[in-house]
Chains A and B, each alone.
Chain A
Amino acid sequence: MSTDQMTGAEIILKALADQGVEVVFGYPGGAVLPIYDAFFKQNAIRHILVRQEGGAVHAAEGYARSTGKPGVVLVTSGPGATNAVTGLTDALMDSIPVVCLTGQVATHLIGNDAFQECDTVGITRPCTKHNYLVKDINDLARVIHEAFYVATSGRPGPVVVDLPKDIQLGSGTYVPPKAGKHKSYRPQVKGDIGKIREAVELLVNAKRPLFYSGGGVINSGPNASKLLIDFVKMTGFPITSTLLGLGAYPASDRQFLGMLGMHGTYEANLAMHGCDVMVAVGSRFDDRITGRLDAFAPNSKKIHIDIDPSSINKNVRVDVPIVGDVAHVLEDMIKLWRADTRRPRKEAIDAWWQQIDQWRARDCLRYKASNDIIKPQYALERLYAAIKGRDDAYITTEVGQHQMWAAQFLKFEKPNRWMTSGGLGTMGYGLPAAMGVQVAHPDALVIDVAGEASILMNIQEMSTLAQYRLPVKTFILNNRYMGMVRQWQELLHGGRYSESYMDSLPDFVKLAEAFGAVGLRASKPSEVDDLIKEMIKVKKPVIADIAVDQAENCFPMVPSGAAHNEMILGDEVGEPKARVTDAGLALV
Chain B
Amino acid sequence: MSEQLRRHTFSVLVDNEAGVLARVIGLFSSRGYNIESLTVAAIDEVANISRITVVASGTEMVIEQIKHQLGRLVPVHKVTDLTMEGPFLARELALVKVAGTGDKRVEALRVADIFRARAVDTSKNSFVFEISGTTEKIDAFIQLMKDLGLVELSRTGVVAISRGAATT
Which A residues are closer than 8 A to B by beta carbons? 121-122, 125-126, 129-130, 133, 150, 183-185, 308-310, 312-314, 317
Contacts and interface: CB of A to CB of B under 8 A. Distances in A.
B113 interface: no
Given A126-B30, A317-B1, A309 B19 contact: no
Contacts of A130: 73-74
B107 interface: no
Interface stretch (B62-70, B86-94, B123-131, B156-164): B62-70
B68 A125 contact: no
Contacts of B71: 309-310
Contacts of A313: 61, 64-65
B100 interface: no
Contact of B65 (A133, A150, A183, A314): A314
A310 B19 contact: no
Nearest to B68: A310
Given A309-B68, A317-B61, A121 B19 contact: yes
B74 A129 contact: yes
Interface string B1-23: 10000000000001100110011
A-B residue pairs, 3 tightest by C-beta: A310-B68, A130-B74, A309-B68
B26 A125 contact: yes
B14 to A, nearest CB: 8
Contacts of B61: 313-314, 317
A125 B23 contact: yes
Nearest to B18: A133
Contacts of B30: 126
A130 B22 CA distance: 12
A412 B72 CA distance: 32
Interface of B: 1, 14-15, 18-19, 22-23, 26, 30, 61, 64-65, 68-69, 71-77
A185 B26 CA distance: 19
A126 B73 CA distance: 11
24 contacts: A125-B26, A126-B26, A126-B30, A129-B74, A130-B74, A133-B19, A150-B74, A183-B15, A184-B74, A184-B75, A184-B77, A185-B74, A308-B68, A309-B68, A309-B71, A309-B72, A310-B65, A310-B69, A312-B68, A313-B61, A313-B64, A313-B65, A314-B61, A317-B1
A532 B69 CA distance: 47
A309 B64 CA distance: 10
Contacts of B14: 184
A119 to B, nearest CB: 10
Contacts of A150: 74
A409 B30 CA distance: 37
Nearest to B76: A184
A310 B22 contact: no
B77 A183 contact: yes
Given A310-B68, A313-B61, A125 B19 contact: yes
A385 B117 CA distance: 82
Contacts of A133: 18-19
A573 B64 CA distance: 43
A85 to B, nearest CB: 14
Given A183-B15, A309-B68, A310-B65, A125 B22 contact: yes
Nearest to A182: B74
Contacts of A185: 74
A150 B72 CA distance: 11
Contacts of B74: 129-130, 150, 184-185
A83 B157 CA distance: 39
Nearest to B69: A310
Among B14, B19, B22: residue with most chain A CB under 10 A: B19
A312 B30 CA distance: 19
A314 B62 CA distance: 8
B59 to A, nearest CB: 11
Nearest to B71: A309
A122 B19 CA distance: 9
Given A133-B18, A317-B1, 15 more contacts: A125-B22, A125-B23, A125-B26, A126-B26, A183-B15, A184-B74, A185-B74, A309-B68, A309-B71, A309-B72, A310-B68, A310-B71, A313-B61, A313-B64, A313-B65
A308 B70 CA distance: 12
Nearest to A187: B72
A130 B74 CA distance: 7
A248 B19 CA distance: 38
A309 B72 CA distance: 8
Nearest to A159: B74
Nearest to B48: A183
B46 to A, nearest CB: 13
A310 B72 contact: yes
B134 to A, nearest CB: 30
Contacts of B65: 310, 313-314
A546 to B, nearest CB: 41
Contacts of B76: 184
A562 B2 CA distance: 23
Nearest to A308: B72
Contacts of B72: 308-310
Contacts of B15: 183-184
Nearest to B73: A130
Contacts of A317: 1, 61
B95 to A, nearest CB: 32
A312 B65 CA distance: 9
A121 B76 CA distance: 18
Among B19, B65, B72: residue with most chain A CB under 10 A: B72
A121 B18 CA distance: 11
A317 B3 CA distance: 13
A520 B14 CA distance: 57
Contacts of A125: 19, 22-23, 26
A185 B74 CA distance: 5
A63 B21 CA distance: 34
B66 to A, nearest CB: 9
A265 to B, nearest CB: 30
B64 A122 contact: no
B77 to A, nearest CB: 5
A362 B14 CA distance: 55
Contacts of B64: 313
Contacts of A121: 19
A125 to B, nearest CB: 6
